[in-house]
Amino acid sequence: MIKITDLNINNKRVLIRSDLNVPIKNKTIKSYARIEASLPTIKYALSKNSQVILLSHLGRPIEGKYDENLSLKIISLYLKKILKNIEIIFIKDIPEKIEFKEKTLIILENVRFNIGEKNNSTELAKKYANLCDVFVMDAFGCIHRSHASTHSLAKQANKTCAGLLLIQELKYLKKALINPIRPMVSIVGGAKISTKFGILDKLLQISDYVIVGGGIANTFLAINNNIGKSLHESKFINKAKILKQKYNNLILPHDSKVVSEFHENADFITKKVFNISNNEEIIDFGNESAIKMAKIIKKAKTILWNGPVGVFEFKKFREGTEIIAKAIAKNKGLSIAGGGDTLAAIEMFKIKNKLSYISTGGGAFLKLIEGNTLPIIEELEKRSTFKKKE
């Protein structure tokens, strides 16, 4: 696919679709990770004396309805603080045209306020395309969604290319998924196994070991054990059994921390997984299991991590996830992490600078691992017929 660095964007109108969907609470940005990851592409375009127009979504508003709490105004105010010498203009409604002015950054309002965004509207995409000479797709976290500001815009724009972040994301995932350096260890946590069968099957094929935690592990444990009132999906126990029988590299906990009542200050006891009572609930790996898994991680040359292995939000129940996270951080091989809860755990345990790469995408990260064909990637590859340095 064509990269932004392949095209001549000097003094051009460059529209960048970024992923600035950051967590906000009480009108305060709680994590700047996605903004920071988007900055290299924005700064590169500005360095070419271009006019940059920025698109992004934020949250899940009702289409066609303005919601002040999900306005990109807060993002524009933050960018004004960090891009000191750049004129930054926030525009609420999509203009018919924008007067060109070099080295300016124009931020348009949340794309999900616009009717037709989620339906991949060609009409809406044309409005965006009319504003630019070059469209740059840089929102890795959105490549699994065919929306007007992503897929349709990539088709309608005069010239379309990939941004620096998107290229970097694909580069690191390729390293892990195509001829990885072995041993390869994957760690998959989360609540629902029903949405992860494709990913688990793929990872079990290519990994030497796949460690599972959370509700996903509980569903596997329920095949042969009473797991009490633990979070799991009973309808998918048989499907989990088939997957478990198919592979011999699935690693499950052999002991767990359990509680009788689920709340932040509940007291836990550690039990073997075959000895859990009806009134008990699994909330974390037992230390024996976590330490055993940390030893497996220590020997890995390639690591893929998606999801915490326990209720890490509660201080008492985060030790399992912490042991796993710190084992990954100590590893000197290639380590790639992705997913919203994973990012929160990384920040909590202060290991951001210890990992090889942290993906900005959750769903996109998993879809690529699963091997799904993504329409936006296909479109970017089609557009590579354009001559470089146009």
Quote the tokens at residue 25: 């609470």
Nearby residues of 249 by Cβ (< 8 Å), 6 or more positions away: 204, 207, 208, 209, 210
Beginning with the edge strand found earlier in the chain, give each strand of the sheet holding 269-272 in spatial order: 269-272, 255-259, 281-285
Nearest to 312 by CA among 349, 277, 337: 349
Region 127-151: mean pLDDT is 96
Q: What pLDDT score was predicted for residue 283? A: 96
Region 131-138: mean pLDDT is 98
390 pLDDT tier (thresholds 50, 70, 90): very low
Please work out, in degrees rounded to the nearest 5, the angle formed at the alpha carbon of residue 249 by the alpha carbons of 271 and 223.
50
> Which H or E run contains 304?
strand 302-306
Q: Tens digits of per-residue pLDDT, 107-122?
A: 999 999 999 999 999 9
Nearest to 63 by CA among 148, 146, 150, 132: 148
Specify burial of residue 336 (Cβ count, 10 A radius: 0-12, 13-18, 19+).
buried
Average pLDDT, the chain: 94
Region 267-289: mean pLDDT is 97
Cis peptide before 95 (omega within 30 of 0): no
Q: Active site includes 192?
A: yes
Point out the least confidently predicted range of 61-65, 99-103, 384-388.
384-388
Q: What pLDDT score was predicted for residue 386? A: 53
101 pLDDT tier (thresholds 50, 70, 90): very high
Q: Tens digits of per-residue pLDDT, 329-388?
A: 999 999 999 887 898 899 999 999 999 999 988 888 888 888 888 889 999 998 886 544
Name the DSSP class of 280: -
Counts of helices then strands in the chain (DSSP H, E)? 13, 17
Q: Tens digits of per-residue pLDDT, 302-324?
A: 999 999 999 999 999 999 999 99
Q: Tens digits of per-residue pLDDT, 219-267?
A: 999 999 999 999 999 999 999 999 999 999 999 999 999 999 999 999 9
Q: Tens digits of per-residue pLDDT, 172-211?
A: 999 998 989 999 999 999 899 998 999 999 999 999 999 9
- Give residue 185's identity as a one-letter amino acid code: V
Q: Residue 17: helix, strand or coil by DSSP? A: strand
Q: Active site includes 59?
A: no
Q: Tens digits of per-residue pLDDT, 69-97?
A: 999 999 999 999 999 889 999 999 999 99
Number of neighbouring beta carbons within 10 Å of residue 242: 10
Selecting among 73, 175, 292, 340, the annotated active-site residue is: 340
Selecting among 48, 103, 127, 192, the annotated active-site residue is: 192
Region 156-171: mean pLDDT is 96
Q: Active site includes 339?
A: no
Q: Active site includes 182?
A: no
